[in-house]
């Protein structure tokens, strides 16, 4: 048995056979061609076929993961038509009299290396995209197909990483879990895992064969804790993915297998019991009610919101529309995303947080300067008020979408009344423009995120300006405790339960209610069931959590009795 560790991107337990995803080995040989015109025609036809395939992937991905996450296939189609890319291939065929496969492979390698060497993070990420489109064209030229899951039995899929074009082609009914060596928590694989509600791990350095595994007692970062059966292929071997603990077991022994079969059964039983809470009210034993909403990052997440019976969307992280785009998303693109979510929620509240770029969420095309302390720098509402046209484009899209559902807007990183008043002036400009253009919209609730100590201390004044507060506990905790939450050396003293944080939460609730504002929490702390009763006693009107946590928090609420003494 081997025990490896990685980073979990979605919790759960999977037990099944392992399948190493076989990326097609596009072995390309250089050969001389006599008819370069015919070879160029062959390349151009393969390129068009690749675009047709990608268009099909886009349509399939829209249904599975939503328009925003499917947009990568439109980007790949555009990259195939890039003049520099096409000219590089055709010129190589013509001047060097080489076969199309070799010209495409060489161009792909050259462009990928060029992107990888760039300083801009966004541009570096395009290196993998160039490789992906080039491999697709080569596959078509060679008449081959990409790797796929064979057999009828669902498997735990192992891969170095999965490109969007690969994940969209997978038969999802045959995937129990994803385990990848590379990737990020916001990778397409991670998004797909969360959408499918299956456990997934990234950063797992699994071997192709057991004798290739590193040795050692530590199992951190994918090191092997124990290993046997050297030389055996892991493809087809039994495996266990523990998405809660971030552990991956290869060829588990009988004791471990029995343990995880029992844990999986208990896990599924808990899920079944939670399903019985669907349609039930979020009300305590003594009659106290609270709204329970869900946080989302894009259109694709709405399915999970509905599946978990959330009462609305308490945080739509609109910055993911920007993070997943190669350029500023247009008003129409944003309008379509917001409208789709509003319509799918069928009248339930959808709270859209305006652009929160900066700090740990960088976008290359914003051309933000490097900062020594970006968490407290040029970010969020500061960028929006400074780059007014970007802000107005987003507000126009949101207001237009409001006509199709129940939308509210909240603004991040507020520290002053002046900022709120500046925002309201821009909103009036946007509404006047929409009136002039004859575009319908509804009046919407306006709120702000309370995530700075400054906003807490003047929450009595801010409450006079807005309809609601939503507390971002992640940032509020780090600013209050002067602890960078991205710094792992400080994990042992980062305490979201700190008395200072809890006192601030109570202060915000009291000040908000005095001025008629409703108050909620949309940070990670909202899902902390150890504090659910505390939040109810404080008087919070709403909690917004990840979709998968809705029923667990509802269960906690329904088993709480506030009439008892604390």
Hunting for tokens 């006192």 — which residue is that? 503
Q: Are residues 98 and 235 in the same domain?
A: no
Active site residue 497: no
Q: What is the pTM for the complete model shown?
A: 0.62
Q: Are residues 504 and 407 in the same domain?
A: yes
Classify the phi-psi angles of 28: left when phi > 0, otherwise alpha if psi is within -120 to 50, otherwise beta.
Answer: beta
In-domain check, residue 58: yes
In-domain check, residue 391: yes
CA-CA distance, 113 to 119, in Å (whole number)?
A: 12
Mean pLDDT by 10 residues, the chain (566 residues): 87 89 69 93 93 84 68 86 92 93 91 79 74 87 64 83 67 84 66 72 79 40 41 78 92 93 89 87 96 89 87 92 82 92 93 83 74 79 93 96 96 96 97 97 96 96 98 91 76 85 97 97 90 96 91 94 82
3 state DSSP class of 207: coil
Hunting for tokens 């869900």 — which residue is that? 294
Hunting for tokens 């209610």 — which residue is that? 513
Active site residue 76: no
In-domain check, residue 524: yes
**Which H, E and C letters describe 464-494, residue by residue?**
CCCCEEEECHHHHHHHHHCCCCCCHHHCCCC
Q: Are 470 and 447 in contact (CB under 8 A)?
A: yes
In-domain check, residue 519: yes
pLDDT at 166: 67
Query: Can you name the residues that pair with 295 across neighbouring β-strands?
Result: 315
Q: Are residues 63 and 183 in the same domain?
A: no
In-domain check, residue 27: no
In-domain check, residue 31: no
Q: Are 142 and 175 in contact (CB under 8 A)?
A: no
- Give the Cβ contact number of residue 266 at 10 Å: 11
Q: Are residues 102 and 163 in the same domain?
A: no
Q: Of the listed 26, 76, 517, 522, which one is catalytic?
A: 522
Selection from 311, 307, 346, 303 nearest residue 542 by Cα: 311
Looking at residue 550, which CATH number applies to its domain? 3.20.20.60
Looking at residue 114, which CATH number applies to its domain? 1.10.274.10
Q: Are residues 217 and 154 in the same domain?
A: yes
Q: End of a domain among 142, 165, 183? A: 142
Question: How many domains are contained in the chain?
Answer: 3
CA-CA distance, 200 to 180, in Å (whole number)?
A: 8
CA-CA distance, 151 to 499, in Å (whole number)?
A: 55
Q: Are residues 439 and 302 in the same domain?
A: yes
What tokens were used for 276? 């019985």
Residues recorded for the chain: 566
Q: Are residues 137 and 196 in the same domain?
A: no
CA-CA distance, 52 to 46, in Å (whole number)?
A: 10
In-domain check, residue 154: yes
Classify the phi-psi angles of 518: left when phi > 0, otherwise alpha if psi is within -120 to 50, otherwise beta.
Answer: beta
Looking at residue 245, which CATH number applies to its domain? 3.50.30.10
- Rg of the chain over Cα atoms, rounded to whole angstroms, equals 26
Q: Are residues 548 and 491 in the same domain?
A: yes
Q: Of the listed 76, 188, 384, 517, which one is catalytic?
A: 188
Q: Are 131 and 160 in contact (CB under 8 A)?
A: no
Domain ranges, residue 266: 2-22+148-273
pLDDT at 187: 60
Q: Are residues 389 and 268 in the same domain?
A: no
- DSSP code, position 368: P
- Give the Cβ contact number of residue 94 at 10 Å: 14
Element spanning 104, H or E? helix 100-116
Q: End of a domain among 238, 273, 308? A: 273
Dihedral of the CA atoms 44, 45, 47, 53 (nearest 10)?
170
Q: Are residues 554 and 476 in the same domain?
A: yes
pLDDT at 71: 77
Widest Cα–Cα separation across the chain:
90
Q: Are residues 256 and 193 in the same domain?
A: yes
3 state DSSP class of 390: helix
Q: Are residues 265 and 286 in the same domain?
A: no
In-domain check, residue 30: no
pLDDT at 121: 61
In 143-253, where does DSSP find H-type helix? 164-167, 188-196
Q: End of a domain among 142, 163, 198? A: 142
């Amino acid at each position: 048995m081997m025990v490896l560790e990685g980073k979990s991107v979605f919790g759960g337990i999977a037990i099944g056979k392992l399948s190493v995803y076989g990326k097609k080995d596009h072995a390309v040989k250089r050969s001389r061609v006599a008819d370069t015109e015919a070879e160029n025609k062959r390349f151009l036809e393969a390129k068009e076929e690749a675009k047709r395939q990608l268009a099909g992937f886009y349509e399939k991905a829209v249904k599975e993961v939503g328009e925003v996450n499917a947009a990568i296939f439109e980007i790949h189609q555009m990259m195939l038509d890039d003049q520099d890319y096409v000219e590089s291939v055709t010129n190589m065929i013509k001047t060097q009299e080489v076969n199309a496969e070799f010209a495409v492979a060489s161009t792909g390698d050259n462009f990928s290396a060029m992107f990888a060497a760039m300083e801009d993070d966004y541009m570096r990420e395009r290196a993998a995209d160039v490789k992906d489109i080039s491999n697709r064209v080569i596959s078509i030229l060679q008449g081959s197909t990409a790797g796929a899951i064979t057999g009828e039995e669902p498997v735990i899929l192992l891969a170095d990483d999965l490109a969007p074009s690969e994940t969209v082609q997978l038969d999802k009914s045959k995937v129990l879990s994803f385990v990848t060596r590379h990737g990020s928590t916001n990778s397409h694989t991670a998004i797909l895992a969360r959408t499918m509600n299956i456990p997934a791990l990234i950063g797992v350095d699994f071997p192709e064969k057991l004798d290739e595994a590193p040795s050692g007692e530590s199992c951190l970062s994918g090191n092997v804790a124990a290993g046997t059966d050297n030389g055996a292929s892991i493809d087809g071997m039994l495996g266990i993915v523990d998405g809660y603990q971030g552990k991956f077991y290869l060829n588990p022994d009988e004791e471990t297998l029995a343990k995880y079969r029992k844990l999986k059964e208990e896990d599924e039983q808990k899920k079944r019991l939670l399903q019985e809470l669907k349609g039930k009210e979020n009300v305590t034993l003594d009659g106290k009610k609270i709204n329970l909403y869900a946080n989302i990052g894009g259109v694709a997440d709405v399915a999970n919101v509905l599946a978990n019976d959330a009462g609305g969307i308490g945080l739509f992280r609109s910055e993911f529309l920007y993070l997943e785009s190669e350029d500023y998303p247009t008003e129409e693109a944003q309008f379509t995303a917001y409208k789709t979510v509003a319509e799918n929620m069928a009248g339930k509240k959808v709270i859209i947080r305006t652009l929160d770029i900066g700090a740990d969420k960088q976008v290359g095309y914003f051309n933000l300067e490097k900062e020594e302390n970006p968490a407290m720098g040029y970010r969020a509402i500061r960028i929006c008020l400074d780059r007014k046209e970007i802000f107005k484009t987003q507000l126009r899209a949101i207001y237009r979408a409001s006509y199709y559902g129940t939308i509210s807007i909240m603004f991040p990183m507020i520290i002053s009344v002046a900022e709120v008043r500046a925002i309201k002036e821009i909103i009036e400009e946007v509404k006047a423009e929409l009136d002039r253009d004859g575009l319908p919209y509804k009046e919407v609730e306006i709120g702000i995120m309370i995530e700075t100590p400054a906003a807490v201390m003047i929450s009595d004044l801010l409450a006079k300006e807005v309809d609601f507060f939503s507390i971002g506990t992640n940032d509020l905790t780090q600013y209050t405790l002067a602890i960078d939450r991205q710094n792992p050396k400080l994990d042992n003293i980062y305490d979201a339960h700190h008395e200072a944080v809890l006192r601030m939460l109570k202060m915000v609730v009291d000040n908000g209610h005095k001025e008629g504002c409703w108050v909620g929490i949309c940070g990670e702390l909202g899902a902390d069931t150890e504090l659910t009763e505390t939040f109810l006693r404080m008087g919070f009107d709403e909690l917004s959590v990840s979709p998968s946590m809705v029923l667990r928090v509802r269960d906690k609420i329904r088993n709480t009795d506030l009439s008892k003494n604390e």
